[in-house]
Amino acid sequence: MKVDIWSDVRCPFCYIGKRKFEKALSQFEHKDKVEVEWHSYELDPSTKTEPTKNAHEHLAEIKGQTKAWAIEIGKYVSETAADIGITFDLDRQVVANSFNAHRLIQLAKSLGLGDEVEENLFAAYFSHGKNIDDKQTLIEIGTSIGIDADVVARMLESNSFTDEVRYDQSTAKNIGITGVPFFIINQKYSISGAQPPATFLDALKMSWLEYAAQEG
């Protein structure tokens, strides 16, 4: 049974949603029969990488709010992440475009390392203050999950996996996805947002009944 997940590594609730889904999956009786595939989705493709810019100021600018408002939003998001066991350090967060990170995701997916790269990119962006649009950072993330540094470097120096990112985003548009995280279970049941683990578990159980019946 397959679970397709559209996500952006710049999206805090995508990281939170990942953890909540994983918690549900760990409780699912048939978890060893579940295939998870991550798909690319850019929340804001126009985002410019600005390593010296404060992330709170950036959020305030794009939302037309004050920096104080952005800081309060950050506190709320960090507390929500902490509830599911993730430590956010938004004061160190680097404003970065995620397109090259998505190309790395597509490369890792082709090698069966999709989940590993998602986890490491999320942690780099939200917990470790890393620039996920920086070539050396992406090479380090790639090598940390077992991809040769030269392979990542060649990918970044070319247009490799650009089409795969665009295809995922086009598919999302055709499906009607307008926000992430977005989960589709067994090509039928959709869940939008970082829902409670119980919601994911119920959907997995329901989908499994239909999947098992189809497989006979």
Q: Scan for tokens 């950072």, then name that residue.
A: 137
CA–CA separation, 57 and 49 (whole Å) = 14
Is 56 within the bounds of a domain? no
Closest CA to 99 of 8, 215, 191: 8
Is 68 within the bounds of a domain? no
Is 111 within the bounds of a domain? yes
CA–CA separation, 91 and 83 (whole Å) = 19
Q: Which residues pair with 184 in a beta bridge?
A: 4, 190
- Which sign, positive or negative, has the C-alpha torsion 28, 30, 32, 38? negative
What residues make up the domain containing 108?
2-45+97-211
- 170 exposed, middle or buried (CB, 10 Å; 0-12, 13-18, 19+)? exposed
Question: Is the entire prediction scored with pTM above 0.85?
Answer: yes
Is 81 within the bounds of a domain? no
Q: Scan for tokens 């760990």, then name that residue.
A: 26
Is 72 within the bounds of a domain? no
Is 84 within the bounds of a domain? no
Closest CA to 9 of 111, 93, 112, 135: 93
| Number of domains into which the chain is organized | 1
Token pair listed for 120:
């490491």
Q: What CATH number should be reported for the domain holding residue 112?
A: 3.40.30.10
Per-residue pLDDT in tens (0 to 9) along the chain, 216 residues: 999 999 999 999 999 999 999 999 999 999 999 999 999 999 999 999 999 988 899 999 999 999 999 999 999 999 999 999 999 999 999 999 999 999 999 999 999 999 999 999 999 999 999 999 999 999 999 999 999 999 999 999 999 999 999 999 999 999 999 999 999 999 999 999 999 999 999 999 999 999 988 876
